[in-house]
Amino acid sequence: MPADPFTLAELTRILLEAAGAEEGVDLDGDVLDTEFTALGYESLALLETSSRIERAYGIALDDDLLTDALTPRALIGVVNDLLTVSRTA
């Protein structure tokens, strides 16, 4: 499990690997508070993304947490919270 915090750069990399990017969407721009649906990512893409995050970081993302994390900022926060808990356990 990586010791560094989960970042937007890491989320962007995983999103692109899992589902690519919709034409006209700049994931390198200011997307932290943009909803995933506006970025072109629907539930299946996010499920694949969460699965990749779980494998890479050794955490379990609850479906409710994933559903509630509507933006990259929210998902990054959830992942980092889980990483903090797993490192202190």
Q: 45: Cβ–Cβ under 8 A, 6 or more apart, which residues?
A: 15, 18, 19, 36
Burial 56-74 (b: 16+ CB within 10 A, else e): ebebebeeebbeebbbbeb
Cα distance between residue 71 and residue 23, in whole Å: 19
Instruction: Give the model confidence (pLDDT) of 52-76 as tens digits.
Output: 999 999 999 988 888 899 999 999 9
pLDDT at 80: 96
Mean per-residue pLDDT over the chain, rounded: 90
Write the CB contacts of 43 (distance below 8 Å, at least 6 apart in sequence): none
Question: Is residue 89 over pLDDT 80?
Answer: no
State how far the Cα of 40 lies from the Cα of 9, in Å rounded to an integer: 18
